[in-house]
Amino acid sequence: MAVMLRNTETGYGLVAILFHWTIAALFAGQVTLGLVMTGLADEEPEKFGLYQWHKSFGLLILLLALVRLTWRLINWAPDLPAGMPVWEQRAARLAHVFLYAAIVLVPVTGWAFVSSSPLGIPTFAFYLVVVPHLPVPVSEAAEAVLQRVHTSLALISAVVAVLHVGAALRHHFVRKDAVLRRMIVPARRRCGD
């Protein structure tokens, strides 16, 4: 049986699985990095470099998210398991929509926050490409607001992601269905299909 790149009615294809885990790992790393770097005093020499890595990986997430969303639009997700209560189906769909939105909005608000800073520190993504600032108002007030929006959105997303992980584990260990497994093992095409 050949591994499917595209999703099927019952399982995820390899592309969707790679997007899911890559962005999940990057997002978890970014939340951790964000907490570490904002916890450092401004005068700590490491802080500047950590911010640059945070900005670089944030832009990478945004890029991957846009490609992933495009892929998602041309690949319907597999059906939810039969017998799932309606409220769980709604909660799952809501969480998925929120997390899809988050992987775009969290980096965009971070980019806007950096762009609004009167410090004007350039974003030199992965020390390779200078990424221009977004056309947003530049002031201490705008920077403070956008920082709060970015941080709050990131933390709420982290909470939703934890609930999402919890739900996946519940499906695997309590309901013993294929919800988690199908996000690990790609769908396969039977010979002759």
Partner 1 sequence: MRRLSILSAFIIVLFTLPALADALLSQASGRYRIDAAKSRIGFSVAQVGGGGISGVFGEFTGRFEINGRDISRSKVEISIAPASVATGQPRVENFLRGKAVLDAVRNPEVIFRSSKVTRTGPQSAVIEGLLSARGRQKPALFNVELVKRAGRRIVFRVTGDIRRAPYDMQVGYPIYSNIVKFEMTLIGRRI
In the complex, least distance from residue 140 CB atom to partner 1, rounded to whole angstroms: 9
In the complex, least distance from residue 116 CB atom to partner 1, rounded to whole angstroms: 14
Phi-psi region of 83 (alpha: psi -120 to 50; beta: other; left: phi over 0): left
Binder of partner 1 out of 73, 86, 119, 141 (CB under 8 A): 119
In the complex, least distance from residue 121 CB atom to partner 1, rounded to whole angstroms: 7
Binder of partner 1 out of 77, 124, 165, 181 (CB under 8 A): 124
Residues 133-192 that bind partner 1 (CB under 8 A): none
Binding span for partner 1 by CB under 8 A among 13-21, 39-47, 71-79, 146-154: 39-47
Binding span for partner 1 by CB under 8 A among 82-90, 113-121, 147-155, 159-167: 113-121
Residues 42-101 that bind partner 1 (CB under 8 A): 42-45, 47-49, 52
Secondary structure of the chain in the HEC alphabet? CEECCCCCCCCCCHHHHHHHHHHHHHHHHHHHHHHHHHHCCCCCHHHHHHHHHHHHHHHHHHHHHHHHHHHHHCCCCCCCCCCCCHHHHHHHHHHHHHHHHHHHHHHHHHHHHHHHCCCCCCEEECCCEEECCCCCCCCHHHHHHHHHHHHHHHHHHHHHHHHHHHHHHHHHHCCCCCCCHHHCCCCEECCCC
Binding footprint of partner 1, residue count (CB under 8 A) = 17
Does residue 120 touch partner 1 according to CB under 8 A?
Answer: yes
Contact residues toward partner 1 (CB under 8 A) are: 42-45, 47-49, 52, 118-122, 124, 127, 130, 132
